[in-house]
Amino acid sequence: MHRIFTTTVSSVYPLYLAKLERKGRTGAELDEVTCWLTGFSEDELRAHLERGTTFADFFDAARLNPKAELVTGVVCGVRVENVDGPLMQQIRRLDKLVDKLAKGRSMSKVLRT
């Protein structure tokens, strides 16, 4: 079992937020892409963050967006679509969405709308 699976989402969330804020993006945009990917409402997302839910439990409870498979590309030198294991792939998809926001992509392109 990879260490990230037992890491809490709430411990990584501030790192995502700091990355986006350095690039002029907002917490609301981070919440929007996270909710888009997971199917959580903002209240559900907040509850997971407050409870200290692990990534394994977070994605186990998620109702993945049907367009999540369209999130492709390279994160940390690894192609998202080639990642072994569905849980790691979902975590990498979230990483990729954050990266695309940080690079200045429009929300419509990030969310495939």
Q: Give me 107's structure tokens.
A: 């929300």
What pLDDT digit, counting tens, does each position of 46-86 carry?
Answer: 999 999 999 999 999 999 999 999 999 988 888 999 998 99
* Nearest in space to 32 (alpha carbons), one of 105, 87, 88: 105
pLDDT class of 2 with cuts at 50, 70, 90: confident
Asked if residue 113 has pLDDT above 80, the reply is: no
Expressed in angstroms, the distance from the first to the final Cα of the chain is 34
From the number of C-beta atoms within 10 Å of its C-beta (0-12, 13-18, 19+), residue 16 rates as buried
The Cα 66–Cα 51 span in angstroms is 26
What is the model's pLDDT at position 105?
A: 94
What is the model's pLDDT at position 1?
A: 67
Domain membership of residue 33 (yes or no) is yes
pLDDT class of 112 with cuts at 50, 70, 90: confident
Q: Give me 79's structure tokens.
A: 């192609």
Q: How many domains is the chain partitioned into structurally?
A: 1
The Cα 32–Cα 81 span in angstroms is 22
What pLDDT digit, counting tens, does each position of 3-32 carry?
Answer: 999 999 999 999 999 999 999 999 999 999
Domain harbouring 15, CATH code = 1.10.8.290
pLDDT class of 99 with cuts at 50, 70, 90: very high
Whole-model pTM: value is 0.93
Residue 75 structural domain: 3-106
Domain membership of residue 113 (yes or no) is no
